């Protein structure tokens, strides 16, 4: 496992609680929502829903909350069914759910926990108790997220690995399909990297990969963008809600930033420093295409960039 001090900032941050954790309070009675708001609003960001449908829509259409305080008895969809649906969605399944209810029957508590809840608090709530339990489960989630993220880090470069990319692609594809927004993929190759390794040695080659990865990571400014090591000297950048002009501009920025590093490459027939070839593909996810088509389009564009002389950005015409 990588030492914590070698982790990129986005992974180190997972070891501690967010400055203002995001809580979603779900209850059909406004007075109950108001009670929990008064308890948590000073140091938490509070969101509210008065039905199960509203709660699910909020989680799917926004940055998911860090924890949900969920009533059991609600008209229409009850809290148990809301929890089941959350746990069946891979993008939402890890959100801890604390049931808050006036029911005190052990069978109700058992049913809530069986549905995927992490705790069960009786109404009327005791402010000190509910604060302590929320803090406990937020801390557990932060620690679990850190361990989960470590599994998805490339050990050499510190960026996400192929496994994390595969997972993120599926999640962002579904999210962009729901929001009717485009999804961009950049397929990136370090030009003539085998020659680089043969000329300078593998240790220097590893250092080169680390510098390129750091440059790519620094170039992606939005929290939702992901850079991952795809394999060998290949990287990918996944950028939700990014259209054709923006994607090509960003790809050119990333290419130019690596050139600006000035990493010597004396055996390159393309330039005297390390350069990148980048293939760009943008798709609008829908029922007629699939994530694999986005990968294929970006890969084809990368092939064209390399065929046409390398150290360039080429956009897919089929995506």
Beta carbons within 8 Å of 108's beta carbon, 6+ residues apart: 72, 101
Report DSSP state, residue 15.
G
Is 233 annotated as catalytic? yes
Cα gap 83→92, rounded to integer Å: 10
Beta carbons within 8 Å of 166's beta carbon, 6+ residues apart: none
Cα gap 197→101, rounded to integer Å: 62
Q: Which of 45, 81, 233, 252 is catalytic?
A: 233
Cα gap 46→24, rounded to integer Å: 6
The runs of H, that is alpha helices, within the chain are: 9-12, 30-40, 52-61, 79-88, 106-114, 127-151, 162-179, 193-200, 202-219, 244-261, 291-307
Report DSSP state, residue 14.
G
For the chain, how big is the Rg over CA atoms in Å?
23
Burial category of 223 from C-beta neighbours within 10 Å (exposed 0-12, middle 13-18, buried 19 and up): exposed
Residues that are catalytic: 233
């Amino acid at each position: 496992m990588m030492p914590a001090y070698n982790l990129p900032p986005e992974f180190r941050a997972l070891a501690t609680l967010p400055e203002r954790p995001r809580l979603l309070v779900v209850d059909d009675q406004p007075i109950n929502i108001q009670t929990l708001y008064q308890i948590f609003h000073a140091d938490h960001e509070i969101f509210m829903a008065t039905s199960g449908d509203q709660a699910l829509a909020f989680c799917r259409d926004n940055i998911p909350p860090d924890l949900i305080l969920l009533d059991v008895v609600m008209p229409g969809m009850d809290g148990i069914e809301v929890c089941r649906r959350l746990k069946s969605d891979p993008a939402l399944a890890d959100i801890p759910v604390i049931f808050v209810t006036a029911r005190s029957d052990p069978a109700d508590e058992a049913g809530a926990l069986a549905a995927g809840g992490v705790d069960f608090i009786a109404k009327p709530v005791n402010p000190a108790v509910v604060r302590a339990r929320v803090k406990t489960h937020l801390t557990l989630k932060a620690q679990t997220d850190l361990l989960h993220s470590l599994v998805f880090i490339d050990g050499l470069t510190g960026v996400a690995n192929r496994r994390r990319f595969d997972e993120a692609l599926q999640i962002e594809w579904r999210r962009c399909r729901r929001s009717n927004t485009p999804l961009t993929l950049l397929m990136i190759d370090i030009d003539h990297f085998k020659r680089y390794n043969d000329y300078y040695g593998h240790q220097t080659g590893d250092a080169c990969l680390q510098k390129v990865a750091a440059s790519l990571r620094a170039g992606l400014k939005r929290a939702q963008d992901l850079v991952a090591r795809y394999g060998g000297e290949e990287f990918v950048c996944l950028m939700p809600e990014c259209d054709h002009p923006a994607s090509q501009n960003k790809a050119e920025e990333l290419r130019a930033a690596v050139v600006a590093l000035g990493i010597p490459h004396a055996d390159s027939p393309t330039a005297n420093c390390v350069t990148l070839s980048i293939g760009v593909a943008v798709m609008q996810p829908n029922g007629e295409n699939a994530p694999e088509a986005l990968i294929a389009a970006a890969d084809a564009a990368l092939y064209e960039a390399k065929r046409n002389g390398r150290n360039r950005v080429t956009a897919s015409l089929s995506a």
